[in-house]
Amino acid sequence: MTPRGDTASFLNALRDPKRAKRLLGAIKELTAEPVAIMEVCGGHTRTIVRYGLEQLLPKEISFLHGPGCPVCVTPRERVDMAVALAQKRGLVLATLGDMLRVPGSSGSLLQARASGCDIRVVYSPLDVLALAKQNPKKTVVFFAIGFETTAPTTAALLERCLMEGIQNVKVLVNHVLVAPAIEALLKEDGSRIDAFIAPGHVCTITGTAPFEPLASSYQKPFVVSGFEPWDILLGLHNLLGMIANKETGVKIAYTRAVLPQGNPKALSFIERFFDVRESFRWRGLGNIPKSALRLKHEFSAFDAEKAYAGVFSSDSKPDPEACLCGEVLKGNAKPSECGLFGQACTPQDPVGACMVSSEGACGIYFRYKGRVPA
């Protein structure tokens, strides 16, 4: 579908109840057996819950919320590293706003800022350039998080630093890769995932290539979907058609934004500045091989992890046992099944990272499904 006219008209078409009703009818015709579909991206979860799609669909269709929230999967020890850096004199820590409330072992970045640490919220990695120019006698460290979607923007920051000769910027890299996490879930004993709604934003960068080997090896269908209600229903219709025809592979239902080859320029930025780490720990999923990025050796002058290695502690605490954030990220539990949900754990005072972000399943349930546990 190609946007025509003004934005409001375009969005209205994607949210048109009459069109949705026709597509729901087609979905019901394709639904014969129970099917568990994981929507990987938190943006998809928000649409599904906000618009009540679960209630409209046949009861045989169940959604499993996946690990597609970058704030949520960033583990405690990486938050602890950011807090340790923020406490260092002469340093400015720049972070995206969602990371402020994520709990670390001894508090959050918001609490560190309240205690006097110089922590600034940025809306783009390129905002870090202005901070560096405004604070030439300080080192500005960017706490970089996100999937393949945001890694090119971090690379663009580094390129600008090189072009302009800015030397007081460093990056604490926490960029992670979606496909290895999906494979880790598929390898788990008792995995009940039948199909995937693949992450639309990630695929605008990567295309379908990272998911094609998974579809082949594990005989699962993947459909790349957009983020409006119509997008989700269209992706779901495609998935059910693939299941009915016993097809595997990767299809694109988000053709207005995603090409099979992705974005070559963005991919070249990632390739230029980053290597793949041997292993990286995800919140809830544990250590996953080849699942994250690090700066290449030739750009180590920008690497906060190397520059401040002596600042970091190795005694990070695990998430509280009562918190089900890890199980939510694996699709094994719904947020409302956690005894802390909406009581001890709220967006204002979160126990787990899944309650913090607008893409975190617990925060989404809190906002759109009520605050009382099941």
pLDDT per residue as tens, the chain (374 positions): 444 457 777 777 777 888 888 999 999 999 989 999 999 999 999 999 999 999 999 999 999 999 999 999 999 999 999 999 999 999 999 999 999 999 999 899 999 999 999 999 999 999 999 999 999 999 999 999 999 999 999 999 999 999 999 999 999 999 999 999 999 999 998 899 999 999 999 999 999 999 999 999 999 999 999 999 999 999 999 999 999 999 999 999 999 999 999 999 999 999 999 999 999 999 999 999 999 999 999 999 999 999 999 999 888 888 899 999 999 999 999 999 999 999 999 999 999 999 999 999 999 999 998 755 44
- CA atoms of 306 and 161, how far apart (whole Å): 18
Sign of CA dihedral 134, 93, 268, 211: negative
- Tell me, what's the pLDDT at 131? 97
Cα-to-chain-centroid distance, residue 307: 27
- Tell me, what's the pLDDT at 372? 52
- Tell me, what's the pLDDT at 190? 87
- Tell me, what's the pLDDT at 313? 84
- CA atoms of 342 and 271, how far apart (whole Å): 42
| Other residues' Cβ atoms within 10 Å of the Cβ of residue 303 | 18
**Which strands, in side-by-side order, build the sheet including 169-175?**
119-121, 91-95, 139-146, 169-175
Which regions of the chain does DSSP assign to beta strands (E)?
35-41, 61-68, 91-95, 119-121, 139-146, 169-175, 195-198, 221-224, 249-252, 274-276, 279-282, 286-289, 293-295
Q: What predicted TM-score, i.e. pTM, was given to this entire model?
A: 0.93
- CA atoms of 226 and 48, how far apart (whole Å): 12
- Tell me, what's the pLDDT at 371? 59
- Tell me, what's the pLDDT at 61? 97
List, in order of start, the domains of the chain with CATH numbers: 35-68+179-252 (3.40.50.11750), 72-176+262-311 (3.40.50.11740), 325-368 (no CATH)
- CA atoms of 296 and 175, how far apart (whole Å): 13
- Tell me, what's the pLDDT at 144? 98
- Tell me, what's the pLDDT at 7? 72
Would you give the end-to-end CA distance of the chain in angstroms? 39
SS3 state of residue 213: helix
Q: What angle do CA 278, 283, 286 make, to 5 degrees?
A: 50
- Tell me, what's the pLDDT at 303? 98
Q: Quick one: tokens of 153?
A: 């923007």
Q: Would you list the DSSP string of 150-193?
A: THHHHHHHHHHHHHHT--SEEEEEEEB-HHHHHHHHHHSTT---
Q: Quick one: 333 exposed, middle or buried, by C-beta within 10 A (0-12, 13-18, 19+)?
A: middle
Residue 322 corresponds to which amino acid?
Answer: A
DSSP classification of residue 361: H
